[in-house]
Structure 1
Amino acid sequence: MYLVASDKRIKAGGLFPSEAEIARRLSQEPAEWAAKAKVLERDGLPPIDPMMGGRHWPSVMAYFNRRYGLSSIEPLQPDGEENLNAI
């Protein structure tokens, strides 16, 4: 699938989708997504990678999973002070 942005075609899938494709995947209007993305970046949303020209999609998904408590990695409680002489 390709999206048309001005005079060029941009591939919609892949690891670094366009902002329009990210907006579509998140059920957002592209103009609204641009404003929301700026706010969410302050909270940890991955920024646009300058070399790749898009946001790393698995990192975007990980961000939203953490935001909504769906992260599969839970921090462990500290079990006390380390005793290196016990080895």
Structure 2
Amino acid sequence: MTRRSSHRDQGLFPCEAEIARRLSQTPAEWAAKAKILERDGLPKIDPLMGGRPWRAVQAFFDWRYGLSTVEAMAPDGLENLNVL
């Protein structure tokens, strides 16, 4: 029997369990490692979107393993839409 893919498994902001799967980790392993990797620049969970931006996660690992010369940047803070 195949597992049906949910909308949270796809797209730009996958859930933590899906990120763990894509990185060949169990969810528990990934949760522990993500806390450590965030100190080195792994993108944090975006509070508005409820997940990590997948392309930024990929860019982080490309940078970490010398596969890219571009460094992923973290958001500089919450947006204030009231100033518009």
Structure-to-structure mapping, 1:7-86, within 5 angstroms: 11-73=8-70
Structure ranking higher on relative contact order (CA contacts 8 Å, 6+ apart):
2
Larger radius of gyration: 1
Paired residues in the alignment total: 66
Q: How far off its partner does 1:57 sit?
A: 0.2
1:59 aligned counterpart, secondary structure: helix
Q: Aligned-residue CA RMSD in angstroms?
A: 1.1
User: Please, which runs of 5 or more residues in structure 2 have no aligned partner?
Assistant: 71-84
Could you tell me which amino acid in structure 1 is paired with residue 67 of structure 2?
L
Report the equivalent of 1:76: none
CA distance in structure 2 between the partners assigned to 1:11 and 1:33 by the alignment = 17
Query: CA offsets, 1:41-73, max 9 Å, x none?
Result: 000000000000000000000000000000044
- Choose between structure 1 and 2: higher strand proportion: 1
CA distance in structure 1 between the partners assigned to 2:41 and 2:59 by the alignment = 10
2:59 aligned counterpart, secondary structure: helix
Moved over 2 A (4+): none
Q: Taking structure 2 as the reference length, what is the TM-score of the superposition?
A: 0.75
Q: Taking structure 1 as the reference length, what is the TM-score of the superposition?
A: 0.73
